[in-house]
Structure 1
Amino acid sequence: MQKEKEDSGGEMKQSSRLPEEMVVQFLSRLPAKALMRFKCIRKSWSNLINSPVFVAQNLSHSTNNKFSSSTCILSKHTFLKDSNVTEKNEIADILMNANEKKQINLSLLKLRYDHNDDDQEPFSVIEDDFIVPSPLSRYSFALKIAGHCDGIICLLNVDDIALCNPSIKEYIDLPKSCLLLPPKREEDYEDEDEFWDALETETNAVGFGYDSKANTYKVVRVVQVTSGYVFTSHPSRVEVYNLGATCWREINADVLESHVFWSPSCDMYFKGVYYWDAHSYLTPGELKFVILAFDMSNELFYLIYHPEAGRDPIKNLAVWKDSIALISHERDAPTYFDLWLYEDSNCFKGSWTKYFTFGPVEVENPLVFWNSNEILMVTTESRRIISYNLDSQTVKYLPIHGVEEPSYIYAITYVNSIISLK
């Protein structure tokens, strides 16, 4: 009898745990916005949602959800608070200066796989907006997305860097650099020539990603020394910030003296490595266009040479079918785009293969592939983000655009997460 009671009690305990397990499975599949609301319902749910195991489980579902019929896109764009301002010079003045007349948004859009819809109407829905706060929002042209990983976005504006998770509305400013010198004032020098000849330091490259070995998120910054606007022979210096740290730390790394390009789709994070499109002087007078790569785990830099692709093509980095891709196009109109894939078989010593050409498309620049045959791009005139289908060569307009030039509008594929920055 005693054993029967114990067995019965064991079964009752197991059955009583089953609903809780089902709740965990249900909650872990919910989007971040819903989970933030559910934290307020029960203290036990709040503790569960905040636990590292649940956070990882939720991220895994968001990343590997093969049953979802949509893709989340995050777009950085600026709009004016006064819609009556239409004069180009006035708009440019608002964008280039610190004022309260503009607002920079990180908009989360849900794109549907609507292959049967042949019209030109929007097929995406803006789900949420994250307003970029000051000081990052002071200058619209200077604000860049310097990498994203697991729902965390790295923002850069001149020398200020911040991390944010738009899904849960968290945002932190990173500590000041330990390498950048304080700005010099012109009145501190006897004449203007002395002022411009003085050595300055400036941010050359910033990247954000995940170190799988140390299980931490990192931001890397490359600082170059300049004299006026001219780069000097002083070697670049590198510092790294680990999420949760109180300051940056300088590392000894050969940065291979490259200067990166700051435009949308000219840099990206992919599988533990950050990539920048750049040019490098390998020898005096020998300029080479390269991809500068930084491994987040071993904290080393590498160079990947561009493929031979035309006279003077414009190139953009992308991920296509889980591989590093380079999209190149000439400056001539109409615009045709070549897609190259990098086949890396031996630690950054791979080769490029040209896969196909698509176009013509009247756009300023490509942004990101959101599936294997759809790529987001920015139109030249209307400054709208469009989705271009590689198979049908059709264009669909997304319900989002900015007042800035097309080369300052960003869009990235985004994974919702509840990873806290605090």
Structure 2
Amino acid sequence: MAKLSKLSEEMVGHFLSRLPPKALMRFKCIQKSWCKLITSPSFIASNLSVSRNNKFASTTSILFKRTVLKDKKDENDIFNVLRDNNNDRRHIFVSLLDLFIDQDGDDQNHHSVVDNLIVPLPLSNCPFSLQVAGHCDGVICLVNTVLEDVAFCNPAIKELKFLPRSPLLLPRRHPDDIHGIETDVNAVGFGYDSKTQEYKIVRTINFITGICYTLDPKAEVFTLGSQSWREIKIDNDIHCFWTPSFELHFKGIYYWSALSYPTPGEDQESIFTFNMSEETFEELPVPDNTHPRDGVVKYLAVWKESVVLISCQGDDDPKSFDIWQMDDSNGVKGWTKQLAIGPVTCEIPLVFWKSDELLLVLSDGSVVSYHLGNKTIKHLPIHGVEDPQYIHAVVYVNSLISMGEGRS
């Protein structure tokens, strides 16, 4: 009888581990033993493994950050609605959408119902300053670049936790400076350290004085396990800047668009990276013939399990995109052009959700899926009222991972 009971428990665990987090959160209330099982570290890891590696899944989850109006009457006053630092007339949503991996070419039922999580204040104070700074294993990092607030969020279980304030001390004031020192959060990125099996947020900070002295930058790391910030070494004189659909975490490396200064008075566009395991920064070149002075704009994405850079002429309509694949086979990171996409009428690319399907944002803020082969477009039930460049998207892995303690 004991063996039968043990077998039943194992079968229940095996069955439950294959269910999505949304269902499991409801099943926690059925009985105490289920709640204990579903919240156990081993079960959470098993459920995550299924989400990551299920090659037979019929859907792919996509996460979007977008702004919607509460009342359609405000469509003629969008600028003021977005500028107001409150949520009276708008919502900023983190939205999950399941796209069906359709094998028979049927355009019907291409998507399921959108599941929305409202981003609360103060993170949602301004739609233009809220960014998704990385996704890993169902957890995303939300950053308000104006308020310098940072939060972990797991949309699948509707959980959001603010990180504690950084204890990083400001440097001493320069003796000739009467204005004090201002902080400028240069870059924020979230990812996974496979060596220590920890989730981390890295942040670089510039310090600027009132008389334009620029002091040495500092960097710090927050680990989910320790729930604390600590300072780390940074030697790079580099400035990261936000670019639509560029920042990316992939296989323990975080990527930003940046400018470096090889000689005084000269700037050079590059890609700035952070290795989550080694906690080191590196500067990478961009492909030749993609300089912004030539009107070329760039985006980063993951395609066929590789980092790719997507480039196009920014003022073209319709646009044609070149796909450059990162190559380090000879020990030196470089880029190889793989293919061209388009022409297609759109504003920006978002993310590859299949090897032959690319999500794009149109000028009206709507999102479509573009098939690289037959060049067909499928419209999705996702729309944002902000400028299309402020709509973010990532391929999402559902999980039960909780952020633990923090400011709710």
The question of a shared fold, defined as TM-score above 0.5 by the shorter chain, is answered with yes
Q: Is the contact between residue 374 and residue 390 of structure 1 (CA under 8 Å) also seen in structure 2?
A: yes
Kept in 2, the 8 Å contact 1:122–1:398? The answer is no
**1:366 has 2:353 as partner:** no
Q: How many angstroms apart in 2 are the aligned matches of 1:225 and 1:63?
A: 40
Q: CA deviation at 1:129?
A: 1.0
Partner Cα distance (1:226, 1:327) in 2: 33
Equivalent residue letter for 2:117: F
How far residue 232 of structure 1 moved from its aligned partner, in angstroms, is: 4.5
SS of structure 2 residue aligned to 1:126: coil
Instruction: Out of 266-275 and 107-116, give the one that drifted further.
Output: 107-116
In 1, Cα distance between equivalents of 2:400 and 2:204: 29
Give the residue type in structure 2 aligned to 1:308. D
Aligned 8 A contact 2:94 2:118 in 1: yes
For structure 1, list consecutive stretches of 5 or more residues without a partner in the other structure. 1-11, 183-193
What does 1:396-415 correspond to in 2, within 5 Å? 396-415=378-397
Out of 27, 41, 48, the residue aligned to residue 38 of structure 1 is: 27
Unaligned runs of 5+ in 2: none
Pick one of 290, 304, 314 that aligns with 1:331. Answer: 314
Q: Tell me the equivalent position of 1:318.
A: 301
After superposition, the C-alpha distances for 1:41-94 in whole angstroms (9 at most, x for unaligned) are 11111111111111100000001111112100011111111211122xx31122
Give yes or no for contact 1:263–1:408 (8 Å, CA) kept in 2. no
Residue 25 (structure 1) aligned to one of 9, 14, 17: 14
Q: Which residue of 1 aligns with 2:139?
A: 152
Counterpart Cα distance in 1 of 2:269 and 2:179: 28
Aligned residues of 1:273 and 1:293 also touching (Cα < 8 A) = yes
Partner residue of 2:222 out of 200, 224, 241: 241
2:94 to 74, 87, 106: 106
The DSSP-based 3-state class of the residue aligned with 1:46 is helix
Deviation sequence 1:310-364 (CA, Å, 0-9, x none): 43411101111101100000123231100000012377x3221000001111111
Deviation of 1:289 after TM superposition, in Å, equals: 1.4
Contact 2:202–2:219 (8 Å) recurs in 1? yes
Structure 2 length normalisation: TM-score?
0.91
Aligned to 2:37: 48
3-state SS of 1:236 partner: strand
Letter of the aligned partner of 1:354 in structure 2?
A: K
How big is the shift at 1:20?
A: 1.7
More deviation, 43-52/110-119? 110-119
Residue pair 1:107, 1:126 contacting (<8 A) in 2 also: no
Instruction: Give the corresponding residue for 1:299.
Output: 279
Q: Report the structure number with the largest CA radius of gyration.
A: 1
Give me the whole-angstrom Cα distance separating, in 1, the residues matched to 2:178 and 2:18.
Answer: 56
The offset of 1:206, in angstroms, is: 0.1
For residues 41 and 232 of structure 1, the distance between their equivalents in structure 2, rounded to whole angstroms, comes to 61
CA separation of 1:246/1:67 partners in 2, compared to 1, >3 Å: closer, same or farther? closer
Preserved contact between residue 125 and residue 399 of structure 1 (Cα < 8 Å):
no
Q: 1:175 to 1:314 in 2, by over 3 A?
A: same
Deviations 1:233-252 (A, max 9, x none): 42211011111434321112
- Give the direction of change, closer, same or farther, for the CA distance of 1:277–1:115 in structure 2 (3 Å limit): farther
- State how far apart, in whole Å, the 2-side matches of 1:146 and 1:346 are: 30
Q: Is the 8 A contact 2:217 2:234 kept in 1?
A: no
Count of residues paired in the alignment: 393
Residue aligning to 1:65: 54
RMSD (Å) for aligned C-alpha atoms: 2.2
Q: Deviations over 1:172-206 (max 9, x none)?
A: 11112233769xxxxxxxxxxx9996531111100
After superposition, the Cα gap between the structure-2 partners of 1:395 and 1:195, relative to the gap in structure 1 and judged at 3 Å, is farther
Aligned to 2:372: 390
